[in-house]
A and B are shown apart, each in its own frame.
Chain A
């Protein structure tokens, strides 16, 4: 039983950064913008988040700083892709290349330092319930926040007028513009939300997942988050499912090594990446005919006046 509990706990921890980053990107893409710079924003968020927590001793300030860093990075993207109508794919790649460099530069002074990671919740009585106690009532705050975030995003997209307008921008920016909605402003806000989420997701890694910072610690999670959005067919509900599935694959790989499965560790480590490829193929295949992607995704919009 304790092993099952430990596995579920570690799956939740591994899934949370994916879920947060993917939620942000879901909103961005729903507004019609494809920001491939998630990995770059995450990795800068990780460096700034750790730096903030190490300097102030506060996980909260670290998380906040990670979000601010991600948002600032996303503003560069917005300026380029929305302000200057530059190709979104190329801009996103540039953001990742810049982010990797910046993260190394910012984090150079923090390598080798340790912090006390985010506390896990403890409610006497509830957390002590065998099996489900720790799982339901004993996580770190990020886990609960990520679930609140995705529920909030679902409610926003499908139950509010603003969410409807945002989706309209993603499906047909010309019509949204003709109706008088400020497409570029809405998209900029969506990109900033995505940046804040990516920054927070990055900060989660050194603040809660491991208590230290190493360069390149996001290890492609930003890209997996992008794949998750496709996996989820741009729907919040499926995003939760996908994120936990991928968290499970990641953890499976760690535990398989512990159980002495006779497969080299590198093959197990490659599993999440291979799973991403397979999932993308299966889903794209299932979807051929009617794509569920926002119709205007990745297209340039220059309002004429």
Chain B
């Protein structure tokens, strides 16, 4: 007996729509088994992961706060992936954006600088993220160096650079030797949407980014070019579309969005620059992009769903002592199932039984 793939005559659109749901279902089944192995009650654990965070307003706000960077980064990554450019260094672009924006906050600390501070921080962070993403893009276009490896190497470099700054020149002298900058001034902080809550302006910015991406991909020539270059490179060449230019463009946009997400995270929920500002947002965003089928609205939903798993993971840790790494395992398994289910869109699975005569002959 053998599993064989058979190419479908045309894409199955029904499966394209339900495949993320099948993937989530399969992931939950797998997680149930994992919880049993860990000796935890799977029903309680699943409740802690997926239901409990939805039942109080604090957790709901927290989900939106966590989804904000995920959605912003994933929108940028989806543009790259649609154009067949493999930016997997969003984590580094996120960190560099956070560093660049923080520079203004640190320099204007306690100087009674005006309301220009936060906008300047956002712009500088986006520019820095874009420039950082352009390094692998240019290395790819000019020299043919694998953008996968170079963008990833730059994550480690960005991480070390941030570490150097907060342990060295930017360290808060009143910070009891902790590697952190001082708390940002109010003018350098992303304003809250609800007084006393956690929801901040960044979530609105993320929604605007989703809308902009939907318009770009659905309504403009550039969006059409991106999709054609990714889906049919040969056709794109005949159409006169410049694939290299699109690599540069999509990398720059995704770097800018990751950088923006970085400064919003630091100037918003975190409030100061320190190591460990990202629990792997740049990598989780890859899952968000695929789970959302590289579609802006899909990414918004996928971002909220993965944010739910982060919050649920924290609650499960507190309530049931389930290790936090289970969340990462969950995310990895989810990505596998999403990709496997995508295979169903293009192929039909068939079980083939070996020819009986051959079987008899062999026996």
Contacts and interface: CB of A to CB of B under 8 A. Distances in A.
A23 B332 CA distance: 26
Contacts of A156: none
Contacts of B172: none
A282 to B, nearest CB: 8
Given A280-B145, A288-B144, A302-B347, A98 B329 contact: yes
A84 B5 CA distance: 7
Contacts of A76: 336
Q: Which of A89, A224, A273 has the most CB of B within 10 A?
A: A273
Interface in B302-331: 323-331
Interface string A263-291: 01011011001101100111111011001
A280 B146 contact: yes
A233 B145 CA distance: 12
Nearest to B335: A94
Contacts of B192: none
Contacts of A284: 139, 143-146
Interface stretch (A63-71, A100-108, A125-133, A234-242): A100-108
B342 A100 contact: no
- Of A36, A91, A226, A266, the most chain B CB neighbours within 10 A belong to A266
Interface residues of A, number: 53
Interface string B146-159: 10111011101100
A285 B335 contact: no
A56 interface: no
Given A101-B325, A104-B325, A302-B347, A89 B157 contact: no
A97 interface: yes
Contact of B146 (A87, A220, A230): A230
Contacts of A95: 332
Given A80-B340, A86-B340, A280-B149, A269 B160 contact: yes
Contacts of B86: 89
Given A76-B336, A266-B163, A273 B347 contact: no
Interface of chain A, main secondary structure = helix
Contacts of B286: 93, 97
Contacts of A281: 139, 143, 145, 150
A85 B325 contact: no
B332 A108 contact: no
A1 B139 CA distance: 41
Contacts of B7: 302, 304
Interface string A293-305: 0000000001011
A215 B4 CA distance: 39
Given A93-B88, A220-B156, 6 more contacts: A85-B346, A90-B335, A94-B332, A230-B146, A270-B160, A274-B153
The 9 closest A-B pairs by CB, nearest first: A98-B332, A101-B328, A104-B325, A101-B329, A266-B164, A94-B335, A266-B160, A284-B145, A284-B144
26 contacts: A80-B339, A87-B339, A90-B290, A93-B283, A94-B332, A94-B335, A94-B339, A97-B332, A98-B333, A101-B330, A105-B323, A223-B149, A227-B153, A230-B149, A264-B164, A266-B164, A273-B153, A273-B156, A274-B153, A276-B150, A277-B150, A280-B139, A282-B143, A284-B139, A302-B7, A304-B7
Interface of B: 3-5, 7, 86, 88, 135, 139, 142-146, 148-150, 152-154, 156-157, 160-161, 163-164, 167-168, 283, 286-287, 290, 323-333, 335-336, 339-340, 342-343, 346-347
Interface of A: 36, 76, 80, 83-87, 89-91, 93-95, 97-105, 108, 215, 219-220, 223-224, 226-227, 230, 264, 266-267, 269-270, 273-274, 276-277, 280-285, 287-288, 291, 302, 304-305
